[in-house]
Amino acid sequence: MLPTPKKFTMVAGAAEGATRLNAFDNALLAAGIGNLNLLRVSSILPPNCQEVAKLDIPPGSLTPTAYGSIVSETPGQKVAAAVAIGFGEDDYGVIMEYSGECSKEEAEAMVTKMAEEAFRVRGRHLVRVEAKGIDIVVDKCGCAFAAVALWY
C-alpha cells in the first residue's frame, strides 16, 4: 500500500515553448515542479494534510499531483488553468481543476464553484475554498498550468 501524503502545495505557472510539450514543461518549471515526475491523481486532499509554501522533493521523484493545464498555438488567445481546494471541518478536502479559454479570474471562479458543488453532493459542510490560477496570452505556443502537489 502506498503511504498517504502529509503535505501539499498549490502552484501555478505559464510559459511559452517551441512545441506543445516544451510549453507544458516550461510551465511546470515556472510553477516550481518541473523536475518532478507527476503522477496525476484524482481530487481528494487527505485528512490532516498540511499546506506548505514549497515542497522539498528530490528531482525525479514520483509526485502525486492533481492538475489542470491547457496548451494553445493560437497567437493572441488567452488561456488559463486553476485549482481549488474545498476544506471541510477536520476531515479530507476536495481538489478541483479547470483549464480553458478564459482569464485567471474566470478559471478561479469556476474551480471555486466546482469545489462548492463537490461538498454539496457529498452532503458535507464546506468551511472554506482556496483557489490558485494563472493565465497567459499566447505568442506562439503557450501553456497555463495549475496544480496541487502532494508529498510525504
CA 56 to chain centre: 17
Of the candidates 69, 72, 97, 99, the residue annotated as catalytic is 97
**How far, in Å, CA of 34 to CA of 69, rounded?**
14
pTM: 0.97
User: Is 69 tagged catalytic?
Assistant: no
Of the candidates 26, 43, 69, 72, the residue annotated as catalytic is 43
Query: For residue 143, with 0-12 CB atoms within 10 Å meaning exposed, 13-18 middle and 19 or more buried, which class applies?
Result: buried
Number of domains in the chain: 1
* Partners of 143 in the β-ladder: 15, 71
How do residues 55-111 score in pLDDT, each as one tens digit?
999 999 999 999 999 999 999 999 999 999 999 987 899 999 999 999 999 999 999
Q: Is 2 domain-assigned?
A: no
Query: What number is the average pLDDT over the span 30-56?
Result: 96
Of the candidates 37, 48, 51, 105, the residue annotated as catalytic is 37
Q: Find cell 503557450 and name the residue.
A: 142
Q: Is 63 domain-assigned?
A: yes
Cβ density class 119-139: b for 16+ within 10 Å, e for less: beeeebebeebbbbbbbbebe
Q: Is the pLDDT of residue 21 over 90?
A: yes
131: containing domain = 7-151
CATH of the domain at 118: 3.50.20.10
**How far, in Å, CA of 52 to CA of 123, rounded?**
28
The confidence band for 38, taking pLDDT boundaries of 50, 70 and 90, is very high
User: Is 106 tagged catalytic?
Assistant: no
SS3 127: coil
Q: Is the pLDDT of residue 116 over 90?
A: yes
